[in-house]
Amino acid sequence: MSFEEFRTLVAQHAPGGITETAIPGVLVSRMDDGGSQDESTTGTILAVVAQGTKRISVGGTVHDYGAGQYLVASVDLPVSGHFTDATPSHPALGFGLELRPAVIAELMLTAAAGEFPRAARGSSPSAIAVGETSVRLLDAVLRMLRLLEHPRDIPVLAPMIEREILWLIMSGEQGATVRQLGLADSSLSRVRHVVRWMREHFAESLRVDELAELARMSPSAFHRAFQAVTSMSPIQYQKSIRLQEARLRLLADPGAIGAVAYAVGYESPSQFSREYRREFGASPSEDAAALRGAGRD
């Protein structure tokens, strides 16, 4: 077992960008360009870095992680980030495993899970955390990647290795963030429920007291939990999601700035343009033109 084998296996199965593998929920990635800032959402995922260093920003919090480290994201958050040292000759390489709450909940029901420390009442772990990849975790990730060479074994062995990886993360330094994914009544799970609703209804007007009711929390407790989990307020989250959706729509139809502004929930195209420029550093028309030009290169 070696870190070199980890890099080799990821490079072998990642042709470019983020690639879904034959193993359900397992992704591999290869990024050759470290210069451009990328706006995206995290999903709920464990990401283990094989090569390269990435910096991401969510709300006002910045996370740096590189080779030998992992990142866990337990809520689907809008983030901006870039690889700081990726080049075609030295690409950023990574392994990803989607975090499935049902599997985590099953593990939380085992007798051994009773030894996990109890979360303080009312506490809300951050939705994003960075940790060091242990020897045991690397070993499990390697065995998962080796299954790509033995497709017949995937249906039997992959679920077992997935449980092992999750258990090791749940037992580790960032375990609280992952464990709460499996607790239906945890504050993190309540915030995830509201975030999912907000992503599906991003164009609707937002009232924090109604979101708190959806989370079955008081408005003050909900606001504190949302801020602790996402590093942003509900209003900031909605704005970020609206602007990311607008960017995708403008890429397909760059001339429809006014229509896109109304479609994502803005009442004023001028306000939309101002907030778009603050978020992406260019006007909607300029940004759409730049993105379309990059796509043709």
The tokens of 120 are what?
């303080």
* CB neighbour class for 261 (10 Å; exposed up to 12, middle 13-18, buried from 19): buried
Question: Which of 13-22, 106-115, 184-193 is predicted with the least confidence, judged by mean pLDDT?
Answer: 184-193
d(CA 213, CA 221): 11
pLDDT at residue 193, rounded to an integer? 85
Mean pLDDT across 222-237: 86
* 3-state SS class at 57: strand
- The structure tokens 């029901």 sit at 109
Mean pLDDT across 136-154: 96
pLDDT at residue 96, rounded to an integer? 94
In this structure, the chain runs to a length of: 297
Residue 214 near residue 193 (C-beta atoms within 8 A)? yes
The pLDDT-based confidence of 177 (bands split at 50, 70, 90) is confident
pLDDT at residue 116, rounded to an integer? 79
Strand 78-83 versus strand 38-41 pairing type: antiparallel
pLDDT at residue 143, rounded to an integer? 97
pLDDT at residue 181, rounded to an integer? 79
Phi and psi at residue 30, in whole multiples of 5°?
Answer: -140, 120
Question: Which of 156-165, 182-191, 197-206, 275-284 is predicted with the least confidence, judged by mean pLDDT?
Answer: 182-191
pLDDT digits (tens, 9 = 90+) for 24-74: 999 999 988 755 556 566 678 899 999 998 888 776 678 888 999 999 988
Average per-residue pLDDT in the chain?
Answer: 85
pLDDT at residue 35, rounded to an integer? 54
Closest CA to 112 of 164, 185, 189, 187: 164
pLDDT at residue 287, rounded to an integer? 84
pLDDT at residue 87, rounded to an integer? 86
Mean pLDDT across 77-101: 85
Bigger pLDDT: 41 or 216? 216
Mean pLDDT across 99-107: 87
pLDDT at residue 140, rounded to an integer? 97
Bigger pLDDT: 55 or 99? 99
- Rounded to whole angstroms, what are the CA distances from 99 to 74, 120, 194? 7, 23, 18
d(CA 70, CA 171): 14
Mean pLDDT across 8-21: 92
Q: Is the pLDDT of residue 263 over 80?
A: yes
The H or E element spanning position 86 is: none
pLDDT at residue 27, rounded to an integer? 93
pLDDT at residue 38, rounded to an integer? 65
The pLDDT-based confidence of 1 (bands split at 50, 70, 90) is low
Task: Calculate the CA dihedral of residues 33, 39, 40, 42 and round it to 10 degrees.
Answer: 90
Most confident of 1-5, 60-64, 208-212: 208-212
pLDDT at residue 32, rounded to an integer? 85
d(CA 284, CA 251): 10
Q: Is the pLDDT of residue 95 over 70?
A: yes
